[in-house]
């Protein structure tokens, strides 16, 4: 790029996933004129080059300048792909608003430079410079001198500022200015017109997906205009939405500032579970609203594309929300953009294919030079010399090679579709064949979605009481535990049906209580009239309260691991109830109320694989307004109530699938948000960790006061009581470890907190831990994505399988993401399974391996197909001869389809090689060539993967050996035919009517048969080379059609076998049939029977040698492994290097030790990184 001065270069979206470098350029008229002339004189080739090389377009047309003066910008991604694009800088004129609103440079809205919009307006001519990149608009900020994203509220805004500035709506002037600068609130997916022949089915589906978003009517409150009904496409950031009680699909992202909403977020999370949204509290702090509390800010945001199914007004009687983001800036827009602009794949297969094509171009160049020399020395006319030389290129470079590399993917995709597995990124099917590590979510993926209540363990001052089992059918006796189960949830009553989280639903149903709305006579200070009320059923006895009104909710979030509600007993006390992860709930309770046996009691149930929820409560003063109580105030000094025990059973398919993957030496890893001990138990029950293998717990703690960050290693084994205080790690620990604990197989288990500390303070240990890390519990969505990325840095090909909820980031980050959810969130995942279990994982790997092997088979076939013709034509060029039109057509078409020569010979005359770049690509991809691809995947996963690269020793050896074998056969046929006693340049046919012997034929040759053949092609060399080449193509197709261990045996592909038999039969018929008319059409000469038999013998020897070489050498894995050992070859993959190092380290793993970050051995001395989708491992 050269050196750029300050102001000419900057970063766009700094620190974000789509970060780009931006360079300023100014168009020069003279350069533009020269490029125009070049385009004309190159007959359109130059614009095509500029299309594929955007940077060249900019460098040719423009000169560098500052970004502020630029009329063109060049963009380059900052990832390993370094992809270029360019955009024109466009102007937005605000002068159109002058007449309507009297907008002048000194207008308060223009001079107020607090917001980006005002800073982007150039005074005094009221213009805005902007660019549009990947559907997002960026405006030039004159104050800061950079391009900034527009279409959303500023991140620095505090909650107080949002309430003050936007709580009453925008004025008409503000709306119009924002509308002009930010653009319409639409998510437009252009469907490419059919006439361009570029239409993609995906764009049609996306268009339908977002179509409804652009035509929604909403109620907008203006500062002066009041409430108006407007089309959603005119919304701008800062508009005030009024939400009624009716269901509404959100057309934008909005911050809820008053009232509460129940929202179906299936689009984003993959779960159609109603989520309660609470209003953004108005705080005096100037801290940005997203970080003002430890709770997730998303609980205040109504996301675009989600459905508001219930809106509850506060005392003022309206539910209000401020538009946060519009168009492609929204959550739904970002989802659509991730599909329209997916992360590029850097799979080496495709780069190797380009390199091989370049080698073929080099080979064609040599052929061209050879052709020029031969024909010039022969005195041929210049036009004939040029035509022959250009013919060599169409022969040597197979135009169908790109199609050949994708046909395996097409058929694999069809087979996957039949199994209910859908794919939006077909190229990743090949990557599936390289997977060697698969991460699984636990809940809903390995285990069943539904949780069954098993029992509840209440406690008092004397400790835990007897377990109340729900299997007995008896209701929970009245008390705080019963009240907590009846009220501490996020359930809603919709159309007479209770809906919500399955766990909440099970818990509430166990109480046998009922849910209803309060009547008009229900009056509590600060509480809406129609509040949610839960009541005991009529059959319930000894319940002293009429019901419990749910006044306020602090919703559950995975980051907080808890939820809290404020309730009012009818005629009784005001209470707060909390439920959540036991260790989190216990930390908010008065220490004396937590039983001393808490850790051991929790351990009893988690070691059996139960999911455990803790309950707590406290009494509140009745006088306070519920909205005035902060979460921190409510969630303090609670009284511990007990444990709710839920049973989460494994899916039936889980254990067999994991066993299949492990037997195929594919690593399996569990990433869950659940309790660590529960995760360990599920890992053992599922077979992810066998009974004979050890589990080592890694616990890392942050820096605390004077002590530095620490990491400890303990073996999970026999039961041992540990005191309360270690938050999440209430598990069994054994102090002494036998020697076989070190030598045998082991797995690391750790929590998200420990993973974070290790990443921050023990980065040199992280790769060592990941090599054997199997169980990762209490992982947040962000940590799941980070873990997948860390595995990729170790050169693993990582698959991620989840149910869509909280897994979207990891599903997108993985090489292969598999969503088990049918919700719209699954569109962010490359693969979606209609069957909600992990059986799809081995199916995908099998099909990926089959597709990969098929791609290699097709690559080898197409390379040999071209080289066979190339060798044959160059040999004939030596005699200034060549193959005729119909001979080329027969090889190009009859070998690949059953239509044959008879259909085409009546339609084409003259030179037919112009069809070669088109016809093979069409027929190879869609018909004959695809016969090689009809083999399905082999039903068993073998413990090794197919080669991931075209440039691997076995594959290159196969191609080179078969090329040399074909070359030897063609040269032998070319020389031997010239040495036959009946060979004569004057004889057009060596056939005899009476089948005389060769000696008789030699002494008295038959008179030349007057045939109407083209004498330029007809010769014995031509006939011999054509038969050898044509039948050799059939032999190569058979030899290269691989079956086991990655695909079904060739004989099961009946269509392919039938096609080969017909093709071979037709060729042999032509060879041995003495039909003058047929020979005349094909420009062939009739040869003696003995020579035809010789041709068959040469082809048979070629077939036997090629087949034996393929089976005994090329496909002999044991032989290649022995060769690798002999030469001392070792894999260069990072994880293989670490495995070898750790195997030779007697001090690893360090058991019953605690290390600190300030120790020398725990420093940051080791770093490792490798581009995603890269693998240095040379596999066979």
3-class SS at 171? coil
Q: How far apart are CA 832 and CA 828, in angstroms?
A: 9
Other C-beta atoms within 10 Å of 1174: how many?
15
Handedness of CA 685, 690, 696, 700 (dihedral sign): negative
What are the two backbone dihedrals, phi and then psi, of residue 699, each rounded to the nearest 5 degrees?
A: -125, 120
Residue with tokens 């900020």: 141
603 and 719 Cβ atoms separated by less than 8 Å? yes
The alpha helices in 946-1053, defined as continuous H runs, are: 953-978, 998-1003, 1020-1040
In 867-953, DSSP assigns E strands to none
Whether the bond between 300 and the residue before it is cis, its omega within 30 degrees of 0, is no
**Half-sphere exposure of residue 932, counting CA atoms within 13 Å on the CB side?**
34
Which residues are designated catalytic?
441
Whether the bond between 124 and the residue before it is cis, its omega within 30 degrees of 0, is yes
What are the two backbone dihedrals, phi and then psi, of residue 217, each rounded to the nearest 5 degrees?
A: -95, 130
Other C-beta atoms within 10 Å of 743: how many?
9
**Half-sphere exposure of residue 1174, counting CA atoms within 13 Å on the CB side?**
12
Q: How far apart are CA 906 and CA 939, in angstroms?
A: 46
Query: How would you classify the pairing of strands 639-647 and 274-277?
Result: unpaired
Q: How far apart are CA 1137 and CA 1165, in angstroms?
A: 17
| Residues, the chain | 1180
Query: How would you classify the pairing of strands 260-264 and 307-312?
Result: antiparallel
The alpha helices in 532-675, defined as continuous H runs, are: 582-587, 598-606, 631-634, 654-663
Q: Which of 22, 24, 19, 61 is nearest to 39 (CA)?
A: 61
Query: How would you classify the pairing of strands 226-231 and 421-423?
Result: unpaired
527 and 626 Cβ atoms separated by less than 8 Å? yes
Buried b / exposed e along 572-589 (16+ C-beta atoms within 10 A): eebbbbbbbbbbbbbbbb
3-class SS at 368? helix
The H-or-E segment that residue 116 falls in is helix 116-119
Whether the bond between 566 and the residue before it is cis, its omega within 30 degrees of 0, is no
CA 399 vs CA 327, 689, 848, 932: distances in Å: 42, 50, 25, 18
Q: How far apart are CA 101 and CA 124, in angstroms?
A: 16
Residue with tokens 């709306």: 175
Q: In what order do the strands lie in the sheet with 532-535?
A: 463-469, 452-460, 639-647, 610-620, 574-580, 562-569, 548-557, 532-535, 514-517
Q: How far apart are CA 50 and CA 496, in angstroms?
A: 63
Q: How far apart are CA 853 and CA 710, in angstroms?
A: 48
678 and 747 Cβ atoms separated by less than 8 Å? no
Q: How far apart are CA 609 and CA 601, in angstroms?
A: 13
Q: How far apart are CA 818 and CA 801, in angstroms?
A: 5
The H-or-E segment that residue 33 falls in is helix 29-41
What are 443's strand-pairing partners? none
Q: How far apart are CA 217 and CA 249, in angstroms?
A: 10
């Amino acid at each position: 790029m050269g050196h750029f001065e300050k102001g000419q270069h900057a970063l766009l979206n700094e620190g974000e996933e789509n970060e780009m470098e931006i360079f300023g350029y100014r168009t020069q008229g003279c350069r533009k004129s020269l490029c125009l002339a070049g385009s004309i004189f190159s007959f359109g080739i130059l614009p095509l080059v500029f299309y594929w090389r955007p940077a060249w377009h900019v460098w040719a047309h423009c000169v560098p300048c500052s970004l502020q003066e630029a009329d063109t910008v060049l963009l380059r991604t900052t990832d390993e792909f370094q992809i270029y694009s360019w955009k024109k800088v466009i102007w937005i004129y605000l002068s159109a608003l002058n007449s309507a609103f009297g907008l002048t440079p000194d207008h308060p809205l223009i001079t107020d430079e607090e917001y980006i919009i005002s800073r982007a307006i150039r005074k005094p001519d009221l213009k805005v410079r902007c660019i549009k990149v990947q559907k997002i608009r960026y405006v030039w900020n004159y104050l800061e001198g950079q391009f900034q994203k527009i279409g959303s509220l500023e991140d620095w805004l505090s909650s107080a500022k949002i309430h003050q500035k936007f709580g009453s709506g925008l004025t008409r002037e503000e709306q119009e200015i924002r509308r002009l600068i930010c653009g319409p609130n639409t998510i437009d997916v252009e469907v490419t017109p059919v006439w361009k022949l570029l239409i993609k089915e995906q764009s049609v589906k996306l268009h339908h997906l977002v179509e409804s978003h652009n035509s929604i009517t909403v109620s907008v409150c203006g500062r002066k205009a009041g409430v108006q009904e407007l089309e959603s496409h005119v919304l701008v950031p800062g508009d005030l939405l009024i939400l009624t009680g009716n269901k509404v699909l959100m057309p934008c992202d909005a911050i809820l500032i008053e009232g509460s909403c129940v929202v179906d977020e299936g689009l984003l999370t993959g779960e159609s579970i109603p989520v309660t949204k609470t209003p953004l509290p108005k705080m005096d702090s100037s801290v940005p609203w997203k970080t003002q509390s430890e709770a997730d800010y998303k609980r205040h945001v109504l996301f675009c594309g989600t459905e508001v199914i219930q809106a509850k007004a506060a005392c003022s009687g309206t539910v209000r929300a401020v538009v946060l983001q519009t168009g492609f800036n929204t959550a739904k827009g970002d989802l659509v953009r991730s599909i329209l602009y997916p992360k590029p794949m850097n799979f080496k297969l495709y780069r190797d294919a380009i390199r091989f094509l370049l080698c073929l171009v080099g080979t064609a160049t040599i052929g061209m030079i050879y052709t020029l020399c031969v024909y010039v020395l022969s005195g041929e006319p210049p036009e004939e010399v040029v035509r022959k030389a250009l013919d060599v290129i169409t022969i040597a470079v197979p135009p169908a090679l790109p199609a050949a590399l994708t046909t395996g993917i097409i058929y694999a995709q069809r087979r996957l579709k039949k199994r209910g597995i859908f794919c939006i990124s077909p190229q990743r099917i090949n990557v599936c064949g390289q997977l060697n590590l698969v991460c699984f979510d636990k809940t809903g993926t390995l285990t069943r979605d539904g949780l069954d209540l098993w029992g509840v363990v209440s406690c008092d001052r004397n400790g835990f009481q007897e377990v109340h089992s729900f299997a007995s059918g008896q209701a929970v006796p009245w008390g705080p535990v019963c009240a907590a189960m009846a009220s501490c949830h996020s359930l809603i009553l919709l159309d007479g049906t209770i809906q919500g989280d399955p766990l909440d639903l099970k818990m509430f149903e166990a109480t046998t209580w009922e849910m209803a709305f309060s009547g008009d006579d229900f009056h509590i200070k600060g509480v809406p009239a129609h509040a949610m009320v839960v009541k005991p059923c009529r059959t319930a006895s000894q319940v002293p309260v009429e019901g419990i009104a749910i006044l306020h909710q602090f919703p559950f979030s995975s980051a907080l691991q808890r939820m809290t509600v404020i309730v009012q007993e009818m005629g009784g006390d005001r209470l707060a109830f909390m439920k959540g992860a036991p260790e989190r709930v216990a930390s908010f309770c008065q220490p004396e109320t937590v039983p001393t046996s808490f850790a051991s009691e929790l351990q009893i149930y988690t070691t059996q694989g139960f999911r455990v929820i803790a309950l707590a409560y406290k009494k509140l003063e009745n006088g306070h307004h519920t909205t005035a109580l902060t979460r921190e105030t409510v969630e303090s000094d609670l009284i511990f109530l007990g444990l709710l025990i839920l049973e989460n059973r494994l899916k039936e398919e889980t254990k067999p699938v994991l066993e299949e993957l492990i037997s195929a030496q594919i690593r399996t890893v569990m990433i869950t948000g659940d309790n660590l001990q529960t995760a360990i138990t599920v890992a053992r029950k599922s077979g992810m960790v066998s009974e004979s293998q050890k589990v080592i717990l890694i616990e890392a703690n942050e820096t605390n006061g004077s002590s530095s960050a620490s990491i400890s290693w303990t073996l999970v084994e026999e039961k041992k009581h540990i005191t309360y205080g270690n938050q999440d790690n209430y598990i069994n620990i054994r102090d002494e470890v036998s020697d076989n604990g070190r030598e045998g197989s082991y797995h690391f288990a750790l929590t998200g907190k420990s993973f974070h500390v290790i990443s921050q303070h023990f980065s040199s240990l992280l790769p060592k831990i990941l090599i054997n890390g199997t169980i990762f519990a209490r992982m947040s969505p962000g940590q799941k994505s980070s873990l997948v990325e860390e595995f990729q840095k170790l050169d693993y090909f990582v698959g991620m399988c989840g149910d869509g909820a909280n897994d979207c980031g990891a599903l997108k980050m993985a090489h292969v993401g598999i969503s088990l959810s049918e919700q719209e969130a699954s569109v962010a995942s490359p693969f979606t399974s209609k069957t909600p279990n992990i059986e799809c994982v081995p199916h995908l790997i099998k099909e990926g391996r089959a597709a990969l092997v098929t791609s290699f088979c097709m690559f080898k076939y197409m390379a040999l197909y071209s080289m066979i013709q190339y060798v044959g034509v160059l040999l004939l060029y030596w005699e200034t001869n060549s193959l005729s039109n119909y001979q080329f057509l027969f090889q190009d078409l009859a070998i690949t389809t059953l239509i044959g020569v008879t259909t085409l010979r009546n339609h084409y005359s003259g030179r037919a090689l112009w069809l070669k770049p088109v016809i093979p690509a069409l027929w190879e991809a869609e018909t004959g060539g695809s016969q090689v691809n009809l083999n399905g995947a082999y039903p068993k996963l073998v413990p090794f993967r197919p080669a991931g690269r075209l440039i691997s020793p076995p594959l290159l050896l196969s191609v080179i050996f078969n090329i040399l074998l074909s070359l030897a056969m063609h040269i032998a046929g070319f020389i031997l035919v010239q040495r036959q006693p009946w060979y004569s340049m004057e004889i057009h046919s060596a056939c005899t009517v009476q089948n005389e012997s060769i000696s008789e034929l030699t002494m008295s040759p038959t008179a030349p048969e007057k045939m109407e053949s083209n004498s330029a092609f007809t010769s014995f060399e031509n006939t011999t080379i054509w038969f050898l080449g044509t039948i050799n193509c059939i032999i190569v197709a058979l030899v290269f059609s691989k079956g086991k261990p990655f695909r079904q045996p060739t004989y099961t592909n009946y269509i392919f076998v039938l096609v080969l038999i017909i093709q071979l039969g037709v060729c042999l018929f032509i060879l041995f049939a003495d039909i003058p008319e047929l020979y005349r059409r094909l420009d062939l000469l009739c040869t003696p029977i003995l020579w035809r038999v010789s041709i068959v013998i040469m082809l048979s020897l070629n077939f036997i040698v090629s087949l034996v070489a393929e089976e005994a050498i090329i496909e002999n894995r044991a032989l290649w492994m022995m060769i690798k050992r002999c030469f001392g070859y070792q894999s260069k993959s990072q994880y293989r290097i670490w495995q070898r190092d750790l195997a030779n380290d007697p001090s690893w793993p360090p058991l019953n030790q605690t290390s600190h970050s300030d120790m020398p051995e725990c420093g940051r001395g080791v770093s490792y990184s490798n581009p995603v989708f890269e693998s240095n491992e040379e596999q066979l």
